[in-house]
Structure formats: C-alpha cells, structure tokens
C-alpha cells in the first residue's frame, strides 16, 4: 500500500525536475533584441539603464540589461553553450583565451566603421592611449582580428576629503615629499583624531588599492617606455625562460623596489598615519571611517565615490576628489594608473544579434553616451577619447568628476593591460606583480621590521624564480 502513496510524489518530483530543466540550455535565444550584462561593481547600473533607454528611443530596439558580479564565473559556460547576452562588459575577462577558441565575434568591421562622416574618423581612431592595439588577438587559425573593445579608462590612487583639506588649510600635495609632510601635519593639526589614511586589509580586503599608487611611482621612476616593456614580461631578447630577472631587486626590478620602499617608509613605518590595525579592517568599516571623516585620504580606484555611497546607502556630506598622485620628483609629469584599462566589452560569437550589439557599441562612443557614463557612474570614463568633448557642465556639477577630468586630461596614463602570453595563461593576479598573488601590505604594516623592503622584494624575486617555469609551461612559451 505504501508504495502506491509514493507514486504521486514520484510523479510530482519528476515533473518538477522536467520543468526546472526545460527552461535551460538547449533552446537557442531569439534575436531581434539586445541583451547586455555588465559587471556589478562600483559603477552602478543607472548609466546602463539610461544609455539603453536612449538607444531604444533612437533605434526602436528593445534592450534588456543586468549587472552581475559573478560574470567571470559564468561566462565560459555562456560562450560555449547558449549565451544569454549579446554584450559582456567586465574587468578580468580572459578574452584572449575566448578569441583563440573562436568564441568571440570578429569586430574588424566595427573598428573600420566611419563614425564621423565630416572628418572620416573611424571607430578605431576614437580611442586614446593605444587601446586598439591591445584589442587584437590571434584566432584559432592564427589570423589576427579585433575581438574586444576597451570598456573604461580610469584612475587609481588616493581619494581625499577636499572639504576637510580646505577647512584645515592643507595644500594638496604634488610631490611625495609634500605628501610625507602633509601626513605629519594632519596628525599634529588634529592631535591624531584624524588619520591621513584609512584602508582595508581585513575582510573583503582591498589592500591592493595601494598597487595603484606604487605603479604610478614605479612608472615615473622607470619611464613609460620601459614600464610598458617591463609589462611584456620578456627578457630583452624576447624570451621568457629567464625573464623572472625582471623582478630582481638589484636589477630590472630596482624601480619596483624603490616604489615599494616609498610606500613602506610612509605607510608601514608610520602606523599613526593609518587607521588602527588596517590589516584587520573590513572594507565596509574603512569606507565608514572615510565617510565619518575619521581619515583624510583613502586609496581607491575611479569608482570610489559611487561605490562608497552605494555601500553605505548614504551620500557624502562633504566634497570628495581624486588626487593626482604626488610625484616622486617635482620636475616630472603626473602619472595615472588607468585601473580599468584592461576591462573589456565583448560580443560572443553565438549571439543572434551581433549587428545590433555593434550598433550599440557605436552608440556608446557618441558624446552623449560617453558623458552620460561619466555622469551616472560618477567619475569613471569610457575608454574612448574625450578630448573633443566639452566636459565643463559635468565638471561644474560635481567636483569629483572635475578632478577625474583633470587627471585623465593631463597625466601620463599607464596601465598593466598586456597581451603577454604569460599573463593570459596565469592571470594577472599571479604574475603581475605580486607573484602568486601574495601581497605584503598587511604583513609589512603589522611588522615593518621583519617585512623590510629588502626581504619583501627578495621574497617576490625568489617566488618569481621558483614559479616561473610553471608560468612558462602554462603559457607554452620559453
């Protein structure tokens, strides 16, 4: 008798399974509309909503969009199976890998499209800082094509409370030495109640925001050309098997070491300049400290303002600006690390609406869309050239955006985006530039004597030496 009672349950269970699976993989998606996904980071989704809406108004094309912070985990399955999206926008996309597997749409025709009839300017000319060169890659047949569009350019470094600076009469530092002086002034002016810096090395650690500052100093010491050469991860003869020597603190890694030493001298050796126990501080409490004006500066990327407000669900009650990172030498240019420069816009080969997707990207490069992105993401820039746009209205409206416009406009912009096979195969966090993603900010902060500059840089060098063969094997280079 008992088993008879089980039958309806079984039937129900089987039916549920079938319905649950029915909506799944195998049915191809209909074309005729656009489906976009963007990384759910500090940019929010208002910009996407506004641009999608305007695109629909102008072309009549329906656009669906969502933001997601787990794109990276899902994209492989999407590209190889049935993709739910026609456009992906995210950081950290392993696009070279997808391109060489034939999973991405060829964008040569997009780059060749004339975007301005009057001047004959093509899409390929709409970028600054050499982005298109980094967007080409070999496909499975060894032919080189464009497979991605750079998504953003941005800034990395120090964000500061400019109202507080004005209130106390602190000058914005332009050199490293001035920054050092400023820190001691902040502590003495406020009896230590306000810390120069707050940063999070604890839960949801963002200690790597210091990388941005260090890269900028390093690039200045190294010079742009050498810095870019360094980022190819090759030896001088173009080989890889011994290029761990780039990390040699007494050789080609000397400037990396110098830049780290500047950080070490200022931050690690002066615990009074940071919030207490930054190695145990969570991201949210660091943001809260900055919001509550317990610190004057916070290392961050261009998304700082938007993200902090979004996380704390409160708007800043004071002016926030991005600082031009103080230079090593007063004679030098300002250097800016474009944090988002490796970020990508991709169209999957299996999208049924590739042409619509290209149309949308062409729409993205228009002045209206470019400015809308800055306005609604509150600071970050798309990767397109903004130099011909009049940004004064946005600058007048928002001091943070104004500071971003200044930085991107007059700095030497650098990035660590690269098509080096070593980085592609092993991931930038393992190769560039803290080997195996072992960062030392927390350790040095906790014990600057044990984790001296020499020791840290030797550790990095030895780690590089030890792991290099594995990196080369994975990248199949020698």
Partner 1 sequence: MSISTFFKQKVKAKKNAIRQSDYERKNDLLYKRHRGEKVLFVFMFIIFLFFAITYIYPFIWVFYNSFKTRINYAQDYIGLPTSWTFDNFLEAFTYSSSETHYFNIFQMLGMSVLICSLGTLVTVFVSSCAAYVVAKYEFPGRNVIFSVVIFSMIIPIVGSLPSQIQLMKNLGLDGTIIGIIFLYSGGFGMNFMLLYSFFKNLSWTYVEAAKIDGASDFKIFFSIILPMAKGPIIAISVITLIGQWNDYMTPMIYLPNMPTIAVGLRLLADQMQQEGNYVLLFSTITLAIIPIILMFCFFSKTIMENTSVGGLKG
Partner 2 sequence: MSSVFVKKENGVNEKRKRKFPRTAFFVILMLAYPVFHFCLMWFGVNINSILLTFQWVRNSRLEWVPMNQLFYNYNNLFQEFSDPVISNMYKASLVYFVLNCLITLPISLLFAYFIFKKIYAAGAFKVIFYLPSILPIVALTLVYKTAFENNGFLTPIFNFFGLKSSTFFMGDTAQWMVWIFCFWTGIGYNVMMLTAGMARIPRDILESSKMDGVPPLKEFVHVIIPLTWPTITTLFIFGMMGVFGTYLQPMLLTAGQNNTNTIGLQIFRESTNVAKNHPATIGLFCTIIGTPIVLGTRALLNHFFKEVNF
Please report, as residue ranges, which positions from 79 to 138 form the binding site for partner 1 (by CB under 8 A): 80-81
Cross-strand bridge partners of residue 321 = 160
C-alpha span between 78 and 83 (Å, rounded):
4
Check residue 61 for interaction with partner 1 (CB under 8 A).
no
E strand intervals along 40-131: 63-68, 87-90, 114-116, 121-122
Q: Among residues 46, 49, 54, 68, which is the contact residue for partner 1, using CB under 8 A? A: 68
The token pair that represents 202 in the structure block:
């604890």
Q: Among residues 45, 46, 66, 76, which is the contact residue for partner 2, using CB under 8 A? A: 76
Check residue 443 for interaction with partner 2 (CB under 8 A).
yes
- Which DSSP symbol is given to 243? G
439-463: string of b/e by CB count within 10 Å (b at 16+)? bbbbbbbbebeebbbeebbbbbbeb
Q: How many residues bind partner 1 (CB under 8 A)?
A: 31
Check residue 97 for interaction with partner 2 (CB under 8 A).
yes
CB of 337 to partner 1, least distance (A): 23
Which does residue 446 touch among partner 1, partner 2, none (CB within 5 to 8 A, set by kind)?
partner 2
Check residue 149 for interaction with partner 1 (CB under 8 A).
no
Check residue 4 for interaction with partner 1 (CB under 8 A).
no
Candidates 10-18, 97-105, 359-367, 405-413; binding stretch for partner 2 (CB under 8 A): 97-105
C-alpha span between 294 and 275 (Å, rounded):
8
Taking the CA of residue 275 as centre, how many other CA atoms within 13 Å lie in the half-sphere pointing to its CB?
28
Check residue 409 for interaction with partner 1 (CB under 8 A).
no
C-alpha span between 305 and 457 (Å, rounded):
33
C-alpha torsion sign, points 314, 318, 324, 330: negative
CB of 417 to partner 1, least distance (A): 25
Check residue 69 for interaction with partner 1 (CB under 8 A).
yes
Q: Among residues 228, 288, 419, 436, which is the contact residue for partner 2, using CB under 8 A? A: 436
Which does residue 409 touch among partner 1, partner 2, none (CB within 5 to 8 A, set by kind)?
none
Candidates 31-39, 55-63, 125-133, 432-440; binding stretch for partner 2 (CB under 8 A): 432-440
The region that residue 97 occupies, defined by phi over 0 for left and psi between -120 and 50 for alpha, beta otherwise, is alpha
Please report, as residue ranges, which positions from 192 to 221 form the binding site for partner 1 (by CB under 8 A): 203-204
CA distances from 238 to 148, 230, 243, 431 (A): 25, 11, 9, 17
Give residues in contact with partner 1 (CB under 8 A). 2-3, 10, 13, 16-17, 20-21, 24-26, 40, 66-70, 73-74, 77, 80-81, 203-204, 282-285, 287-288, 311
């Amino acid at each position: 008798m008992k088993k008879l009672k089980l039958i309806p349950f079984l039937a129900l269970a089987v039916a549920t399974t079938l319905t649950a699976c029915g909506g799944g993989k195998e049915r191809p998606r209909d074309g005729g509309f656009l489906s976009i996904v963007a990384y759910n980071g500090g940019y929010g989704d208002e910009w996407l909503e506004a641009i999608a809406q305007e695109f629909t108004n102008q072309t009549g094309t329906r656009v669906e969009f969502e933001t997601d912070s787990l794109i990276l985990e899902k994209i492989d399955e999407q590209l190889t199976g049935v993709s739910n999206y026609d456009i992906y926008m995210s950081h950290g996309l392993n696009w070279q890998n997808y391109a060489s597997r034939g999973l991405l749409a060829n964008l040569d025709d997009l780059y060749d499209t004339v975007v301005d009839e009057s001047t004959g300017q093509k899409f390929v000319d709409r970028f600054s800082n050499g982005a298109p060169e980094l967007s080409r890659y070999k496909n499975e047949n060894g032919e080189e094509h464009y497979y991605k569009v750079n998504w953003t350019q941005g800034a990395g470094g120090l964000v500061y409370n400019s109202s507080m600076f004005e209130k106390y009469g602190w000058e914005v530092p332009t050199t490293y030495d001035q920054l050092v002086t400023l820190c001691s002034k902040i502590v003495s002016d406020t009896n230590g109640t306000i810390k120069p810096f707050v940063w999070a090395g604890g839960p949801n650690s963002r200690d790597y925001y210091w990388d941005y500052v260090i890269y900028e100093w390093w690039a200045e010491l190294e010079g742009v050309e050498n810095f870019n050469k360094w980022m190819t991860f090759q030896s001088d003869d173009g080989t890889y098997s011994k290029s761990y020597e780039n990390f040699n603190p007494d050789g080609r890694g000397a400037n990396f070491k110098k830049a780290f030493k500047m950080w070490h001298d200022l931050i690690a050796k002066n615990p009074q300049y940071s919030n207490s126990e930054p190695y145990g501080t969570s991201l949210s409490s660091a943001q809260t400290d900055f919001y509550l004006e317990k610190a004057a500066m916070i290392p961050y990327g261009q998304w700082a303002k938007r993200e902090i407000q979004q996380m704390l669900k409160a708007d800043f009650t004071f002016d926030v600006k991005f600082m031009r990172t103080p230079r090593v030498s007063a004679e030098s240019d300002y250097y800016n690390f474009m944090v988002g420069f490796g970020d990508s816009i991709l169209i999957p080969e299996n999208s049924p609406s590739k042409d619509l997707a290209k149309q949308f990207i062409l729409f993205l490069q228009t002045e209206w869309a470019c400015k809308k992105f800055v306005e609604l993401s509150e600071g970050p820039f798309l990767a397109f050239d903004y130099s011909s746009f009049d940004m004064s209205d946005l600058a007048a409206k928002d001091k943070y955006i104004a500071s971003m416009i200044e930085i991107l406009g007059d700095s030497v912009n650098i990035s660590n985006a690269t098509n080096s096979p070593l980085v592609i195969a092993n991931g930038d966090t393992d190769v560039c530039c803290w080997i195996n993603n072992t960062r030392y900010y927390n350790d040095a902060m906790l014990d600057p004597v044990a984790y001296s500059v020499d020791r840290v840089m030797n550790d990095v060098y030895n780690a590089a030496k030890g792991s290099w063969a594995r990196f080369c094997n994975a990248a199949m280079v020698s």
